[in-house]
Chains A and B, each alone.
Chain A
Amino acid sequence: MGAGAGQAVAGQGAAPAGAVIAARNLDLTFQTGDGPVHALKGVSLDIRKGDFVSFIGPSGCGKTTFLRCIAGLEEPTGGSLSVNGMTPDAARRARAYGYVFQAAGLYPWRTIGRNVSLPLEIMGYGRAEIAERVARVLALVDLAGFEKKYPWQLSGGMQQRASIARALAFDADILLMDEPFGALDEIVRDHLNEQLLQLWARTDKTICFVTHSIPEAVYLSTRIVVMSPRPGRITDVIDSPLPRERPLDIRDTPEFLDVAHRVREGLRSGHAYEG
């Protein structure tokens, strides 16, 4: 931070130390044929290094839009947003984050290994370094040995793991995930959630995770951001009391159910606004 902070954070002073992502009064209004749509209104949030933050809310609450703002894929119309002390666009250029989309989006004409190496090729890594990194991240997502396989030879869950490996390959500190497991069945999803936590523990990344599943959000996150629509805004931010070490059966503990209950309440109060 420090030197670069001036451009990024206006108004209420600099972001607190350790904030990797800092949003202040963020607005985003889309102009449509039916008049303006307030996708985001007055969103303020600090995300600390090493946090696992989930964004949860009904569709249209702006959770994906907020993630896309962090990624520099959308331009906010008001407020300020800094990523790694830079503007989101500068952070994007500096390759500060890996983005995992809802669909794995692997290229059918590339093997799994060559799919994972795609961002590395684009970023100009050397051949030896690419091979080393591909092997490392594929091992990290439990896909060692699948390097030569084509996407169609893998299950949906494995494809999504490959896409996570691809997002990890260039060692960005931030991982942005937009409902990555939304299209998978519950059993696969549980398994991947568990693996994601292990991966997070091993790599110390900052993860922003968009979901519409309450158990998923509570199980994964250190902080849960509850959002509501029209206009898209934050209604509650819950710091999870759960320990970082989380076996799957933590979901039956009273602490877990407490947090889940509070998330559900937050979602409900968001809806009450509409009457």
Chain B
Amino acid sequence: MKRSVLPVLTVVLALLVIWYGAAVWLNAAWAQDRATRAGVELSLAELVADTWAQDKPKLPAPHQVAVELWETTVEKKITSKRSLVYHSWITLSATLLGFALGTALGIALAVGIVYNRVMDMSVMPWVIASQTIPILAIAPMIIVVLNAVGISGLLPKAMISMYLSFFPVVVGMVKGLRSPAIMQLDQMKTWNASPAQTFWKLRLPSSLPYLFTSMKVAMAASLVGAIVGELPTGAVAGLGARLLAGSYYGQTIQIWSALFMAAALAAVLVGLIGLVQRLVLKRMGMA
């Protein structure tokens, strides 16, 4: 544990240095511009200080994003429309619902593919084709179509999350359900086990390591789906809405803080799955 701290810190430090440097480089033009118009000459120190403290910088400095994050999470009431916690919750709820739907759909399709020859031959190409369509192209259509039949709010966004998250689960679970050795399947046959018994007692437990791995990918994809689902709808709440509003009004600090919030959310969610994975597989003697 201790040995890994130093390399990680080194990388973080290097990233911060590069970031601050890039902020100077990208924001210097605007600072110079303003100084020229005001008819003042900037020293190097003044220039650097200015590039790290602009209202609408091209690239906000890390401490600006940190301050924004602090102000919009800790200092705002979570019921406030300006609280990042509130927006995160909106996105999180769609993510979790979409993830649950996507995982369920993925497992159902995988079971069908493994147990049904017709599905094995026909479903997989469609599953793959579904992922080649850019989600940005199909997201507005899902929203519009569902809106037309009277479904709005959480569910359309969750559907887009599901659309992205079922794919890794199908692929992982097909592999997982097929992971038992021929010998183990023969053994089931010698006991005259029914297909259902073989599924519950052998195939499903064998597939769990694959399921957890694909659920991690699915969770990250699900979050992306929820955010993308908030972009084309002119949603007023959610991390996607924060990104969109930020880009409308040039609020780069707001965009970056929403991005960091999304990244932190993804890290926590994937980490939670990893934790459950460790506990379950250890208990099953498979880790």
Give the B-binding residues of A (Cβ under 8 A). Answer: 71-73, 92-93, 95, 97-99, 101-103, 105, 107-109, 118-119, 121-123, 150-152, 170
Determine how close the nearest CB of chain A comes to the CB of B22; give it in whole angstroms.
50
Determine how close the nearest CB of chain B comes to the CB of A192; give it in whole angstroms.
19
Instruction: Choose one: A92, A97, A109, A170; the contact of B284 (CB below 8 Å).
Output: A109
Q: Name 22 interchain pairs, CB-CB below 8 A, sorted by A.
A: A71-B190, A72-B189, A73-B186, A73-B189, A92-B189, A92-B192, A99-B186, A99-B187, A99-B190, A101-B186, A105-B181, A105-B184, A108-B284, A109-B286, A118-B191, A119-B191, A122-B191, A122-B192, A122-B201, A123-B191, A150-B285, A170-B191
Residues of B within 8 A of A97 (CB): 190
Residues of B within 8 A of A119 (CB): 191
Tell me whether A101 and B187 are in contact (CB under 8 A). Answer: yes
Q: Given A71-B190, A97-B190, verify A151-B201 contact (CB < 8 Å).
A: no
Residues of A within 8 A of B188 (CB): 122
Determine how close the nearest CB of chain B comes to the CB of A3; give it in whole angstroms.
22
Give the A-binding residues of B (Cβ under 8 A). Answer: 181, 183-184, 186-193, 197, 201-202, 205, 284-286
Tell me whether A103 and B191 are in contact (CB under 8 A). Answer: no
Tell me whether B285 and A151 are in contact (CB under 8 A). Answer: yes
Determine how close the nearest CB of chain A comes to the CB of B119; give it in whole angstroms.
26
Tell me whether B190 and A109 are in contact (CB under 8 A). Answer: no
Give A107 to B191 CA distance when docked, in angstroms: 15
Residues of A within 8 A of B286 (CB): 108-109
Determine how close the nearest CB of chain A comes to the CB of B52; give it in whole angstroms.
55
Tell me whether B191 and A109 are in contact (CB under 8 A). Answer: no
Q: Give chain A's interface secondary structure class.
A: loop
Give A122 to B187 CA distance when docked, in angstroms: 12
Tell me whether A105 and B192 are in contact (CB under 8 A). Answer: no
Give A105 to B190 CA distance when docked, in angstroms: 13
Determine the residue in chain A with the shortest Cβ distance to B193.
A122
Residues of B within 8 A of A107 (CB): 202, 205
Q: Given A93-B192, A122-B197, verify A105-B285 contact (CB < 8 Å).
A: no
Q: Given A92-B189, A99-B190, verify A105-B183 contact (CB < 8 Å).
A: yes
Residues of B within 8 A of A170 (CB): 191
Give A237 to B187 CA distance when docked, in angstroms: 29
Instruction: Choose one: A73, A103, A121, A151; the contact of B190 (CB below 8 Å).
Output: A73
Determine how close the nearest CB of chain B comes to the CB of A178; give it in whole angstroms.
9
Determine how close the nearest CB of chain A comes to the CB of B286; give it in whole angstroms.
5
Determine the residue in chain B with the shortest Cβ distance to A120.
B191
Instruction: Choose one: A92, A103, A118, A151; the contact of B183 (CB below 8 Å).
Output: A103
Give A99 to B188 CA distance when docked, in angstroms: 10
Tell me whether A109 and B197 are in contact (CB under 8 A). Answer: no
Tell me whether B285 and A152 are in contact (CB under 8 A). Answer: yes
7 A-B pairs with least C-beta separation = A109-B284, A108-B285, A99-B190, A119-B191, A122-B193, A150-B285, A122-B191
Give A230 to B183 CA distance when docked, in angstroms: 25
Residues of B within 8 A of A101 (CB): 183, 186-187
Determine how close the nearest CB of chain A comes to the CB of B203; give it in whole angstroms.
12
Give A73 to B192 CA distance when docked, in angstroms: 11
Give A118 to B192 CA distance when docked, in angstroms: 12
Determine the residue in chain B with the shortest Cβ distance to A99.
B190
Give A103 to B197 CA distance when docked, in angstroms: 22
Give A121 to B200 CA distance when docked, in angstroms: 12
Q: Given A118-B201, A122-B201, A150-B285, verify A105-B187 contact (CB < 8 Å).
A: yes
Give A72 to B192 CA distance when docked, in angstroms: 10
Most buried by A among B192, B202, B205: B192
Residues of A within 8 A of B205 (CB): 107, 109
Residues of A within 8 A of B284 (CB): 108-109
Determine how close the nearest CB of chain A comes to the CB of B214; give it in whole angstroms.
19
Tell me whether A92 and B193 are in contact (CB under 8 A). Answer: no
Residues of B within 8 A of A92 (CB): 189-190, 192
Residues of B within 8 A of A121 (CB): 201
Determine how close the nearest CB of chain A comes to the CB of B252; give it in whole angstroms.
51
Give A118 to B286 CA distance when docked, in angstroms: 18
Most buried by B among A101, A109, A151, A170: A109
Determine how close the nearest CB of chain B comes to the CB of A20; give it in whole angstroms.
17
Residues of B within 8 A of A73 (CB): 186, 189-190
Most buried by A among B191, B193, B197, B285: B191
Instruction: Choose one: B192, B197, B202; the contact of A95 (CB below 8 Å).
Output: B192
Give A85 to B19 CA distance when docked, in angstroms: 81
Give A123 to B189 CA distance when docked, in angstroms: 12
Give A264 to B205 CA distance when docked, in angstroms: 45
Give A73 to B285 CA distance when docked, in angstroms: 30
Residues of A within 8 A of B193 (CB): 122
Residues of A within 8 A of B201 (CB): 118, 121-122
Determine the residue in chain B with the shortest Cβ distance to A152.
B285
Determine how close the nearest CB of chain A comes to the CB of B200; give it in whole angstroms.
10
Residues of A within 8 A of B190 (CB): 71, 73, 92, 97-99
